[in-house]
A and B are shown apart, each in its own frame.
Chain A
Amino acid sequence: MKSNRGYLVWAGLCFIVVNALLFIYGYSPYNFTIGGFELKKIVNSTVDQVSVEDQILAESIKIDSPKIALKDTVVRLADSKSDSIVDEIVSLPTSLKADSSLNDSTHHRILLLGDSEAGGIKNVLNDYCLSNGHKLVATLEWYSATSVNFAKADTISKLIARYKPTYVIVLFGLNEVLARDGANRRAMAKLFQKRLRKVPYAWIGPTNWGQDFVVTDAFRAAADSAAFFSSKSLALPKSSDGRHPSLSGYRIWMANIANWLQTSARWKMKMLPPNRTGYPRKFKSIVFNAAEFRGY
């Protein structure tokens, strides 16, 4: 067979060109889709790290990071033995600035993080998202979870790294409305807020039914200005368990949140009422139970 060094040159070029393209795409703000499937990226950009004070505080409370279940497959994203704060790298959305215009037509990739109330609101949120051109990419329902779980486990960073949302909606706190250790809750909330890694977010306070001692204030203090939505004064229909809102309660709640997202939130986005309900649920639904991972 004829020998030709050109084959070696071509081999080198193949590796250079292919990897360069993958790297450039990895660092670009664009996302391409083929046949409805989004092309994943090889790398993400770096972000700042959690402060030393928060790390020290975090060290004082131990908790395991759970495994993440996607559909039927359990995908291990977090090292269950690790308490260390993972310095995940996520891309920073450039399209959304604080106090952006209400007419912003950006289509967001939304990640919903929360406790059981997130589980209740996710389908309603999905209707709003799809109706407004956004995409609810994934939801995390972390049953029985408190701010300690959200702050201490590296799960949040992992999820953000995995799904690369351009907007995060946070909803938890129901399991700690009776807590009175304000300083701890504030610290945990602050630590959690740093885990969001500068991704624009809307932090929704829990439905506390008027029994909240410190948690709403703690979360409000930790969140950026105008990024927190207090649900303290909302009167919502309750479900039969007497603890969570009913479906109509979730719809009323979501309508209030949507109105706030459009008009007053720090990072505003288009969130008009949906023209119909029951949109197809194509988002990844991740379910944890903190009772199984409570290490304290």
Chain B
Amino acid sequence: MLQNLEVIELLKGIPFEQLIRDLFLYSTKEPWFFTEFSFLFIFGIFVFFYALLFDWNIVRKCYLVAFSLFFYYKSSGPFLALFLTQVTCDYVFAHWIQKKEGVTKKFIGILAILFSLSFLLYFKYANFFIANTNALLLTHFDFIDLFLPIGISFYTFQSISYLVDVYRGEIKASTNFLDYAFYMTFFPHLVAGPIVRASDFLGQVNHPTRPTALVFKESFVRIILGLIKKLFIADYLAKYVDMVFATPSFYSGGENLLGVLAYTFQIYFDFSGYSDIAIGLALLVGYRLKENFENPYNSTNITVFWRKWHISLSSWLRDYVYIPLGGNRKGEFNTYLFLLITMLVGGFWHGASWKFVFWGFAHGIALGAHKLIKNHLPDHFLMKGIGWLSTFVFVSFCWIFFRANDFNSAIEIIERIIQHTQWVDFKGFWYSRFELSVLILAVFAVVLIPLHWKKWSIERLYYIPAFFWIFFLFVSLQLIIQFRDEVVQPFIYFQF
């Protein structure tokens, strides 16, 4: 046991002033993520007082909105003002849309959407348009020094869905600004999704799920699993992925191939880990967000893959781009065209670069091709195996363009895989990077396990009494510290 003097000496070593500054002030070098231990600590304090305020509805909502705004401030600093402006304007626009009819309603609807989109277009795509204008017209416009506000792609899509739903009359504009602000600012989905629909969430705002033992355990499982997925698996894979994608020519064909495979798993564990944490945090405070991933790499065709991958985005694209364009109601050719346009929008949403557009284009073509042939495919076990393999290979192939630094780099990786892959590369990889090889094999096995098996095994954990979960949390966090890299990688989807 530590003696009293030793305890005092130990406490004297803690720079409290600096800690408090780090905890409460925004730093461009260390924006807040769910994986920050300082966030988890502050979240604990927040939840403690949230419990005390749980039954006072208005106070509870104000408290949660204040924490969400604080969270956004810690993530994006001064862009909080921009975010609040957008939230307020959308609230006003939605009421305006609801009151009007006919052409005026349409005009205000378009104006509201353009207003929402304008921030995203400016911050995310201005330099892309300047670069392309310069290239096409041989102009010399200077690039603008812009910093992308974190989460702008997500909350813009969320506000558009709200405005469109109000316009269509599918939901009523929220009559309470606090409720609307609660929906828009709710911190678990604020900076990297899932993109939450007003119709799914606004109804919950005043009726949160009450805390029970099951809710407590479910939340903890999601949070701990998410942290492990992100900090333990994705970040470990990232080390190798970063090396290969930075200089593909330094690595053999086999190493490039395994780099692509590692990235395929990295992006899944990174983003699904984030989603798990978000869902777990939301559930702990009484709100159920929809699932964002459902074992996507187990899909036997590309259509099913898109029903299981980033579900909130793919369903958003379906409901607000594909169906409004005409969906499958305007002939066969147009159906394929609309699919392609939808996926191009999806690709462009991910980033202002042609490589993302190409990624979306490739998926659009694949979705169209699958739609064309799906009725002619035999419903056979073997066919499902071939379908799974081709889907997995295709999705992994497309990730090359998604991750590569540029188009040329992506082509170089593909060339090296095709022309320079030898059996000995894999043997060498196994011996020289044994831990990584084991991890890749293990995550491969995990993604192939059917979803209901995973759910069943997780449900067994719910039998453990709530008291013991503090040990699970402690052990998992210490394990993460033990094995993580010095620098925690930011979530991949934060940049979108």
A42 touches B481 (CB 8 A): yes
Q: How far is the CA of A42 from the CA of B488 in the complex (A)?
A: 12
The yes or no answer to A29 lying at the interface (CB within 8 A) is yes
Q: How far is the CA of A75 from the CA of B486 in the complex (A)?
A: 10
Find chain A residues with CB under 8 A from B41 CB: 15-16, 19-20, 23
Which B residues between 463 and 496 are near A, CB-CB below 8 angstroms?
Answer: 466-467, 469-470, 473-474, 477-478, 481-482, 485-486
A13 touches B246 (CB 8 A): no
Contact A19-B37, Cβ < 8 Å, known A7-B211, A7-B213, A11-B220 = yes
Q: How far is the CA of A8 from the CA of B53 in the complex (A)?
A: 11
B44 touches A162 (CB 8 A): no
Q: How far is the CA of A76 from the CA of B55 in the complex (A)?
A: 49
B37 touches A39 (CB 8 A): no
What residue of chain A has the Cβ atom nearest to residue B286's Cβ? A8
Q: How far is the CA of A23 from the CA of B44 in the complex (A)?
A: 14
B48 touches A39 (CB 8 A): no
B473 touches A24 (CB 8 A): no
Contact A8-B54, Cβ < 8 Å, known A17-B470, A46-B18, A158-B486 = yes
A28 touches B10 (CB 8 A): yes
Q: How far is the CA of A64 from the CA of B169 in the complex (A)?
A: 59
B482 touches A12 (CB 8 A): no
B434 touches A7 (CB 8 A): no
Find chain A residues with CB under 8 A from B62 CB: none
Find chain A residues with CB under 8 A from B282 CB: none
Find chain B residues with CB under 8 A from A29 CB: 9-10, 13
Find chain A residues with CB under 8 A from B47 CB: 8, 11-12, 15
Find chain B residues with CB under 8 A from A20 CB: 41
A18 touches B477 (CB 8 A): yes
Contact A8-B284, Cβ < 8 Å, known A42-B481, A72-B433, A162-B486 = yes
Contact A10-B43, Cβ < 8 Å, known A1-B212, A1-B213, A4-B212 = no
What residue of chain A has the Cβ atom nearest to residue B475's Cβ? A18
B43 to chain A, nearest CB (A): 6
A23 touches B37 (CB 8 A): yes
The yes or no answer to A161 lying at the interface (CB within 8 A) is yes
The yes or no answer to A73 lying at the interface (CB within 8 A) is yes
Find chain B residues with CB under 8 A from A1 CB: 212-214
A22 touches B54 (CB 8 A): no
Instruction: State which of B15, B46, B486 has its C-beta within 8 Å of the C-beta of A77.
Output: B486
Q: How far is the CA of A12 from the CA of B281 in the complex (A)?
A: 11
The tally of residues in A whose CB lies under 8 Å from a CB in B reads: 47
Contact A76-B469, Cβ < 8 Å, known A16-B41, A21-B474, A22-B477 = no
A8 touches B473 (CB 8 A): no
B211 touches A14 (CB 8 A): no
Q: What does DSSP make chain B's interface, helix, strand, loop or mixed?
A: helix
The yes or no answer to B82 lying at the interface (CB within 8 A) is no
What residue of chain A has the Cβ atom nearest to residue B476's Cβ? A18
B435 touches A73 (CB 8 A): yes
B44 touches A27 (CB 8 A): no
Find chain B residues with CB under 8 A from A9 CB: 48, 51-52
Find chain B residues with CB under 8 A from A4 CB: 211-213
A12 touches B470 (CB 8 A): no
Q: How far is the CA of A24 from the CA of B213 in the complex (A)?
A: 30
B243 touches A14 (CB 8 A): no
The yes or no answer to A175 lying at the interface (CB within 8 A) is no
Mask of B425-441 contacts with A, CB within 8 angstroms, 1/0: 00000011111100000
B481 touches A40 (CB 8 A): yes
B243 touches A74 (CB 8 A): yes
Mask of A19-43 contacts with B, CB within 8 angstroms, 1/0: 1111110011110000001011110
B470 touches A14 (CB 8 A): yes
Find chain A residues with CB under 8 A from B44 CB: 11-19
Find chain B residues with CB under 8 A from A72 CB: 431-435
Which B residues between 210 and 244 are near A, CB-CB below 8 angstroms?
Answer: 210-216, 219-220, 239-240, 242-243
Q: How far is the CA of A207 from the CA of B212 in the complex (A)?
A: 70
Q: How far is the CA of A75 from the CA of B235 in the complex (A)?
A: 11
Q: How far is the CA of A23 from the CA of B434 in the complex (A)?
A: 33
B433 touches A73 (CB 8 A): yes
A11 touches B216 (CB 8 A): yes
A40 touches B482 (CB 8 A): yes
A68 to chain B, nearest CB (A): 10
Q: How far is the CA of A19 from the CA of B44 in the complex (A)?
A: 9
Among A13, A18, A37, A74, which residue has the most Cβ atoms of chain B within 10 A?
A18
The yes or no answer to A45 lying at the interface (CB within 8 A) is yes
The yes or no answer to A294 lying at the interface (CB within 8 A) is no
B239 touches A74 (CB 8 A): yes
The yes or no answer to A211 lying at the interface (CB within 8 A) is no
Find chain B residues with CB under 8 A from A275 CB: none
Q: How far is the CA of A21 from the CA of B219 in the complex (A)?
A: 22
What residue of chain B has the Cβ atom nearest to residue A16's Cβ? B44
Q: How far is the CA of A15 from the CA of B277 in the complex (A)?
A: 14
Among A7, A11, A42, A73, which residue has the most Cβ atoms of chain B within 10 A?
A11
What residue of chain A has the Cβ atom nearest to residue B242's Cβ? A76
Instruction: State which of B43, B466, B467 has its C-beta within 8 Å of the C-beta of A15.
Output: B43
What residue of chain B has the Cβ atom nearest to residue A13's Cβ? B48
B13 touches A11 (CB 8 A): no
Find chain A residues with CB under 8 A from B486 CB: 77, 158, 161-162
A76 touches B40 (CB 8 A): no
Mask of A78-96 contacts with B, CB within 8 angstroms, 1/0: 0010000000000000100
B481 touches A10 (CB 8 A): no
A73 touches B220 (CB 8 A): no
Q: How far is the CA of A44 from the CA of B51 in the complex (A)?
A: 33
The yes or no answer to A5 lying at the interface (CB within 8 A) is yes
A8 touches B51 (CB 8 A): yes
Q: How far is the CA of A45 from the CA of B17 in the complex (A)?
A: 12
The yes or no answer to A3 lying at the interface (CB within 8 A) is yes
A10 touches B37 (CB 8 A): no
The yes or no answer to A2 lying at the interface (CB within 8 A) is yes
Instruction: State which of B9, B212, B482 has its C-beta within 8 Å of the C-beta of A39.
Output: B482
B37 to chain A, nearest CB (A): 6
A12 touches B48 (CB 8 A): yes
Q: How far is the CA of A21 from the CA of B37 in the complex (A)?
A: 11
The yes or no answer to A238 lying at the interface (CB within 8 A) is no
Q: How far is the CA of A261 from the CA of B213 in the complex (A)?
A: 60
Find chain B residues with CB under 8 A from A22 CB: 37, 477-478, 481
Q: How far is the CA of A114 from the CA of B429 in the complex (A)?
A: 29
A158 to chain B, nearest CB (A): 7
Ordered by A's residue number, 6 sampled pairs between the chains whose C-beta atoms are within 8 Å are A8-B47, A8-B51, A11-B44, A12-B48, A19-B44, A74-B243
- Across chains A and B, which 10 residue pairs bring their CB atoms closest together, nearest first? A15-B44, A12-B48, A8-B51, A12-B47, A19-B41, A3-B210, A16-B44, A7-B216, A7-B211, A1-B212
Partner-B contacts on A (CB < 8 A): 1-24, 27-30, 37, 39-42, 45-46, 67, 72-77, 80, 94, 158, 161-162
Q: Beyond the given A7-B212, A14-B44, A15-B43, please list 5 additional residue pairs across the A-B interface where CB-CB is below 8 A.
A: A6-B51, A10-B216, A13-B44, A16-B41, A18-B473
